[in-house]
Amino acid sequence: MLRPQHHLLSPPATISPSSAVSFPPLPPRVLPLRRRGAGTGTPLRGKTSSAVRASSAPGATESEVVVVVAHREVVRALASRAEARLGARLLPSAVPPDVAEFRSGGAGNAVGSLDVRRGAPGSTIDFMLQSSLHCKVPNGAIDITSLLIFLNASTDAPHFLMEIIQGSPTSIVVILDLLPRKDLGLHPEYIEKYYESTQVDKLREKIEELPQTRLYRSQSLFVRSAFSPTAILISIDCGQGGESTLEEIVYGQLATVANELLQIWLDCCADRASEMEEGERESMLKRDQIVRSKSIEVDLTSNLPRMFDPDVASRVIAEIRKAFGVEEA
């Protein structure tokens, strides 16, 4: 998950007062969304509606108004494209209902959803994980949306990872990478195969050209080390009154870049098994295991319990550990 720890622990200082946005009780299906063509790769530049806003979900009563977060729509559309392409290589969702959707029992200020689909036997897919978390904080809310598609030991190709953290209606942090599975210092040919010949660095350059972007650096040195040298690690801050600008960027350039990266991953990484010597495969598996364990430790086990009641948090963490294939430390 590689979630930047301090965003959850201490929300960005720029969080704006939420006076304009209310966070009403959520409908039974957490945050059902009106799909808006996001994630199709077509920039929707003309849009001007606000990034976080209230709208009626189909079938929702007046008290069940939903908050539509632009970035979540984009990530979900992306996930749908991946699902369509991977087809039968993904098994049906196998997450218990109380993990598929969960909320904090007490204060009721946090809701979340988690979906995990394992890869079918014989495929290169280990699992595909989607999650979204929404948590009220004193000055507003934090929304975190993740899409991870991890590969198994039949290939050494990078995993796909996207995570967006929204701490205010005008700013987000974007983490988007093809997560390497080998030591790049030891394997220049791996860089050539998956990062140079695919020209993924151009996508990073494209999004970083936007004047609203700043490089984002995780506080965890391990998390920083885990990313590829072409990782998109940025904050996009549109400043006061920049709600509609942020939404335009999210539905526009961000959706385009994320779609192109997913396409490259689907075409060049997800399809084929790699020939490897047994020792090479073992070493890759060991590395994978450490990256997964360490990410969960840095990320979820320290953060989820701060957002959700302990029993909810541990239920969700257990399910993520199961997907990641790592035991409790």
Measured distance CA(50)–CA(305) in Å, rounded:
30
Q: Whole-number minimum distance, CB 179 to a second copy, in Å?
A: 9
- Rule CB under 8 A: say whether 215 interacts with a second copy: yes
| Contacting residue, 23, 127, 160, 195, with a second copy by CB under 8 A | 195
Which one of residues 286, 306, 310, 311 is an interface residue with a second copy (CB under 8 A)?
286
Candidates 102-110, 227-235, 241-249, 251-259: pick the segment binding a second copy (CB under 8 A).
227-235
Picking from 263, 254, 1, 257, the residue whose alpha carbon sits closest to that of residue 114 is: 1
In angstroms, how far is CA 63 from the centroid of its own chain?
29
Contact between 199 and a second copy by CB under 8 A: the answer reads: no
Contact status: 290 vs a second copy (CB under 8 A): yes
CB of 15 to a second copy, least distance (A): 23
* Burial readout 271-300 (b: 16 or more C-beta within 10 A, e: otherwise): eeebeeeeeebeebeeebeebbbbbbebbb
Per-residue binding string, a second copy, 245-284, x by CB under 8 A, is --------------------------------------x-
Asked whether position 229 contacts a second copy by CB under 8 A, the answer is yes
Contacting residue, 9, 98, 183, 318, with a second copy by CB under 8 A: 183
- Work out the angle between the directed axes of helices 300-307 and 310-324 (0-180°, nearest 10): 150
**Sign of the alpha-carbon torsion through 125, 112, 316, 137:** positive
46 CB burial (10 A radius; 0-12, 13-18, 19+): exposed
- Dist CA 121 CA 3 (whole Å): 29
Binding site for a second copy (CB under 8 A): 180, 183-186, 188, 191, 195-196, 201, 215, 221-222, 224-226, 228-230, 283, 286-287, 290-291, 294
